[in-house]
Structure 1
Amino acid sequence: MSAREEILARVRGATTDVTTTPGDRARVAVVEETSPGIVETLELFAENVADYRAQVVRVAPDGVGGAVAQALREHGCRTVVVPAGLDPSWVHPASGAVRVLSEAEAPTHRELDAVDAVLTACAVGVATTGTIVLDHRSDQGRRELTLVPDTHVCVIRADQVVHDVPESVARLRPGPDGARPLTWVSGPSATSDIELERVEGVHGPRTLVVVLVQDADG
């Protein structure tokens, strides 16, 4: 028996119990491509973000500043750096207890390393993967801003959450001239050694707080 015949024989043996027809698979594909409603999408997003050991805080639009201040307080943050284009109301409630630095006040890695937290917006959230995507516009700051401080508080609006990765890519790149640098974040930074011991904070923040902003009926 040739190598080709042997491979084909193994494939046939491995698929002897498969009873679906091409028509069945097509019908399954149609069901899978049906997008869920916004409520289901937000629930899935929150569930998957939390599954990565990140914290999810749901608030109304007027509750963002309070949620940010609470998150910084809970995680013992004394300093926070914010991008130039961030909504000032998001950080104002925390300014009495936390030293707020502008992006320009932490220009180097060493200075960023002395900052406890970073507060940003984001571009897109992906429900099926629990991922937030930053495209580093003015409300998100340069890439290193979200990689060096130990805590990242990220604010995302409900209308920025999409169901899956293809939908997020379509939104991130609406045309050939829309390319921007992207950072995809799925939970706090984590890795494991050869004994599968989990270590957090190696490649980025060890703590991620996602503030999900949605209307009362959303």
Structure 2
Amino acid sequence: MNSREKVLGRVRAALGPARGTPVEVPRGYRRRLAEPADRADVVALFSERVAEYRASVRHVGADEVATAVAAALWGRGAARIAVPADLPYGWLAELEGVQAVADAPPIPAGALDGMDGVVTGCAVAIAQTGTIVLDGGRGQGRRALTLVPDHHLCVVHADQIVGTVPEAVARLDPVRPLTWISGPSATSDIEMARVEGVHGPRVLEVLIVDGPLC
């Protein structure tokens, strides 16, 4: 008997006759917020959690989206941004002095890295975790579009915000390319010092649209 067999023999002896018995995994996940919450409470919680991640959050009406997008880009001195080819045209209607480059055909990685930012929508947002989920659907584009530029401006409609992760998962198609965003990209792995922009945008700005979205 070699050393490996001895070790495995001891493990089997320690486990006893119950080894291999299926273990029941509890599935009693909390699927909704602890207390019944109306739409305003869910949206407010999402705003709070996103802000905790050092993201910028602003509430706007449906008729203010274009102005808010332009103001956010002007505020960062953006001159050239990338946008999904199917981004709603109205979102960029007030943009002056900023060139919006549609990602069709796909913008090369080097050129994408040189963009001053990207504007997208989202698939769903989660109040409990302050997370935004993109699935490559309308107004979102491919994954690289929101992972390479240093600034991501995301438009989130209030109706897209759910309370918990299970609620979000129920709305998503698992075969689509999902990107889960909880604040700007950051890590504290090296000497416990927070470093932003490691594997995604260094800056995340969120516009929450409180009225019907065009």
TM-score between both structures, scaled by the size of structure 2:
0.81
Closer, same or farther in 2 for the Cα pair 1:170/1:198, shift >3 Å? same
Q: CA deviation at 1:92?
A: 2.0
Partner of 1:155: 155
Partner amino acid for 2:81? V
Aligned counterpart for 2:202 among listed residues 185, 193, 206: 206
> Greater helix share, 1 or 2?
1
User: Equivalents in 2 of 1:153, 1:30: separation in Å?
Assistant: 29
Q: CA deviation at 1:194?
A: 3.1
User: Equivalents in 1 of 2:196, 2:155: separation in Å?
Assistant: 21
User: Which digits, 9 at most, give the CA deviation of each residue in 1:132-157, with x for residues without a partner?
Assistant: 00001131001000000110000010
Aligned counterpart for 2:178 among listed residues 177, 182, 205: 182
Q: CA deviation at 1:195?
A: 2.0
Partner of 2:38: 37
Structure 1: runs of 5 or more not aligned = 5-25
User: Equivalents in 1 of 2:32, 2:171: separation in Å?
Assistant: 22
User: Which digits, 9 at most, give the CA deviation of each residue in 1:83-114, with x for residues without a partner?
Assistant: 011111101211x1211101126521111011
Partner of 2:52: 51
SS at match of 2:94: helix
Closer, same or farther in 2 for the Cα pair 1:32/1:206, shift >3 Å? closer
Contact 1:83 1:139 in 2 (8 A): yes
Contact 1:191 1:202 in 2 (8 A): yes
Partner amino acid for 1:103? D
Partner of 2:99: 99
Q: How many residues align?
A: 186
Give % identity: 50
User: Equivalents in 1 of 2:171, 2:161: separation in Å?
Assistant: 10
SS at match of 2:67: helix
Which stretches of structure 1, 4 residues or more, deviate above 4 A after TM superposition? 29-34
Partner amino acid for 2:191? E
Structure 2: runs of 5 or more not aligned = 1-13, 16-27
Partner of 2:64: 63
User: Equivalents in 2 of 1:113, 1:140: separation in Å?
Assistant: 17
Partner of 1:80: 81
Closer, same or farther in 2 for the Cα pair 1:31/1:87, shift >3 Å? closer
